[in-house]
Amino acid sequence: MEPKGKRVLVAMSGGVDSSVAAYLLKKDGYDVVGATLQIWPDDPDETVREDVGCCSLSAVDDARRVAEVLDIPYYVLNFKDIFDTSVIAPFVEEYKKGRTPNPCILCNWRVKFEAMLDKALSMGFDYLATGHYAKVVEKNGVYSLLYDAENKKDQTYALYRLTQHQLSHLLLPVANIEKEKIRSIAKEAGLPVAQKKDSQEICFVKDNDYASFIRDYTKEEPVQGDFVDLEENILGKHKGIIHYTIGQRKGIGLAAESPYYVVRIETDTRRVVLGENKDLFEKSLQADQLHWIQKEPSEYPISLQAKIRYSAKPVPATLDKKENGIAFLTFLEPVRAITPGQSVVFYQDELVLGGGIIRDFE
C-alpha cells in the first residue's frame, strides 16, 4: 500500500528510542514534527512526577534538545486531563479493589494511540510515530502486529489494544533494530540522549511507592485487615490491600520459617491470603475487556500462546469463550502469579491476536 502522505508527528518521550525514531524518519524524507505530552498538573508536586518518566518535565527538556539537533519543529501538547481520567484514576480504583493494573497499557490505549493519534490527524498529519519495539505489516489492507522473540525489547505486550485504524496511521521506525544499535545511531547523529538510561518506573509514582501515591491522590487512609493462610488462620494485620499484589514477598513483615508470598487478595473481606511460592502456580484464568487486532476467532476453543506480564515469554494455552464476553484460558503448564488487573496477551507464533484484562484465576 502506498503511503497516504509524508507528514508525521513523532511522540517524543525524551528517550533514545523515540529520538532515533524521529531521526530515521527525517532521514527517510518524512516531514517530521516532534511532540511531548504534558501529563503533569500545574502543580507537579501534587501528583505526577516532574523528574522522571516518559512525559516528565525533564523529558521535555531532553526532547526539545533532540528536536533542535534534528532541526524539526517541536511542541508540548496538554493532555493532563485525559491522562488523569484515563490512566491515573483507573489505576487508583483498581488498586483499591485489590487488583494490579498496568498504567502503561492504559496510556498507550487511551492516550497515545487514541487521543494523541486523533489530535495528530486533526492537525493534518498522516501518521503518528513512536519509539516502540514492534513490527507492523500490511497485506491486502489488513494490518498485523508481529512479535519478535529474538528482541529482548519487544513491546507488543503493551500494544495489544491497537486497532486497524490506528495501525494504518502508525509508524514504528526502530522495530527491527537492537538496542545497542539504536544507541550507536543516536551517538553518530549527535543526539544528546544517546546514553540516557531507560526509565524503569511509572512516570507518576515516585520510588515505585504506589500506596503513598494512592493515599495522597485520594486523601484517604488505607483500611487495615487480616493476613490469613490458605486454611483461613489469622496470621496478623496488614496495612491495607493497596500495599499488596499477587506474588509479592517483600514488605509483608511477618516472621516465618519459610518466606510468605501474597497468593490472593480478597476485596470484600479485606483479607490478604499468604502462602508459599508453590501456591502461586495456577493453570487457568478468566479475562474480560477482550480486544482483537483483526477479527475475533469464529470458533472456540483455539490453541495459542499467551503471556500474563510484560517480562514473561508467551507459553502454550487454550482459549475458550464464555458468556458475557468472558474468556477462559487454560495453560499447558502452570504459570506463576496470575494477577487480576494485569493484561493477558494472545499470540499465534509471531502474530499478536489481541488480549484482555485478567479477572481471576483458578
Strand ranges (DSSP E) for the chain?
7-11, 31-38, 74-78, 127-129, 135-139, 142-146, 170-171, 225-228, 234-238, 261-266, 271-275, 281-292, 302-307, 315-321, 327-336, 343-348, 351-361
Instruction: List active site positions.
Output: 107, 203
C-alpha cell, 234: 489469622
The four Cα atoms 240, 246, 251, 256 give a dihedral, to 10 degrees, of 110
**The amino acid at 49:** R
Instruction: Please calculate the CA angle 175-23-155 and round it to the nearest 5 degrees.
Output: 25
Cα 86 to Cα 106: distance, rounded to the nearest angstrom: 7
Give the amino acid at 150: E
Residues 6 or more apart whose CB falls under 8 angstroms from that of 149 comprise: 313, 314, 350
